[in-house]
């Protein structure tokens, strides 16, 4: 497959440029094969994508021809990458990518014969990690796949970090609330209240948040 002049790159998505020199990835011998799902309603293109991914060391664990099947396979298999066409029957690729993205199932690379700005923006808003314009070659597709996997990993790590920070902030709020209740209802000082919560957590093998919640419920009558 060869590709005409590429679309102009935007900051929304990676749009792979045909003819670029691509350094082959050095794959550690002991790295497990990464798992891929290919979703394309045109059988010949789907076969080309499957062959390209397998030649690059991927294990293609699922194939489909419409967006509904794509969502089902993503839910069942949770692959490392999904390469999916935009225009498909039943459910289009952008809508499928949106569902997959909201469920945090896998990164998606979208394939399309069109490169309009509006389509690129829709793909970005749907959560697609990269976008490749047909016709394309392995030198176009594989860098987009690698970029999608890398970006998805970075975003997932950031989301986990943010969630952890939010959880720690909420725990601190509840522990502070519990300390205040122990101080006002039980006559303990602030250090004594904290040590009591900490010791109870260790003795009963509970988290400090669980102990704080119990104090709030039992001493404060459930008041937040």
CA 60 – CA 199 distance, rounded (Å) = 52
pLDDT at 24: 46
Backbone angles phi, psi at 49, to 5 degrees: -65, -45
14, 18, 22, 26 alpha-carbon torsion, rounded to 10°: 70
Instruction: Domains for the chain: give ranges and CATH numbers.
Output: 29-159 (3.40.50.2300), 160-218 (1.10.10.10)
Backbone angles phi, psi at 67, to 5 degrees: -65, -35
Q: What is the mean pLDDT of residues 7-20?
A: 41
CA 169 – CA 147 distance, rounded (Å) = 33
pLDDT digits (tens, 9 = 90+) for 25-46: 555 556 688 999 999 999 999 9
CA 83 – CA 76 distance, rounded (Å) = 16
- Asked whether the CA dihedral 150, 155, 156, 162 is positive or negative, the reply is positive
The three state secondary structure string of 96-145 is HHHHHHHCCCCCEEEEECCCCHHHHHHHHHCCCCEEEECCCCHHHHHHHH
Kindly give, in sequence order, each residue whose CB lies less than 8 Å from that of residue 14, ignoring residues fewer than 6 positions away. Answer: 129, 130, 131, 143, 144, 147, 148, 151
pTM above 0.75, yes or no: no
Output the furthest CA–CA distance in the chain (Å, rounded): 78
pLDDT digits (tens, 9 = 90+) for 85-102: 999 999 999 999 999 999
Neighbour count for residue 69 (Cβ, 10 Å):
19
- Asked whether the CA dihedral 184, 190, 192, 193 is positive or negative, the reply is positive
pLDDT digits (tens, 9 = 90+) for 145-204: 999 999 999 988 888 888 889 888 999 999 999 999 999 988 899 889 989 999 999 999
pLDDT digits (tens, 9 = 90+) for 63-73: 999 999 999 99
């Amino acid at each position: 497959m060869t590709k005409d002049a590429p679309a102009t790159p935007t900051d929304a998505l990676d749009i792979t440029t045909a003819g670029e020199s691509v350094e082959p990835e050095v794959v550690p011998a002991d790295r497990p094969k990464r798992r891929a799902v290919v979703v394309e309603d045109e059988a010949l293109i789907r076969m080309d994508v499957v062959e390209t991914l397998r030649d690059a060391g991927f294990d293609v664990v699922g194939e489909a021809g419409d967006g509904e099947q794509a969502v089902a396979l993503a839910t069942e298999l949770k692959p490392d990458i999904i390469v999916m066409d935009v225009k498909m029957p039943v459910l289009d690729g952008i809508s499928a990518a949106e569902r997959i993205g909201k469920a945090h199932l896998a990164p998606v690379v979208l394939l399309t014969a069109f490169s309009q700005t509006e389509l690129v923006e829709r793909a970005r808003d749907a959560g697609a990690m990269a976008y490749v314009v047909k016709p394309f070659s392995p030198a176009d597709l594989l860098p987009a796949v690698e970029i999608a996997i890398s970006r998805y990993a970075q975003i997932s790590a950031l989301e986990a970090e943010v969630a952890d920070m939010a959880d720690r902030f909420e725990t601190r709020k509840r522990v502070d609330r519990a300390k205040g209740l122990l101080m006002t209802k039980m006559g303990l000082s602030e250090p004594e209240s904290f040590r009591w919560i900490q010791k109870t957590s260790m003795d009963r093998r509970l988290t400090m948040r669980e102990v704080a919640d119990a104090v709030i419920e039992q001493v404060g009558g459930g008041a937040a």
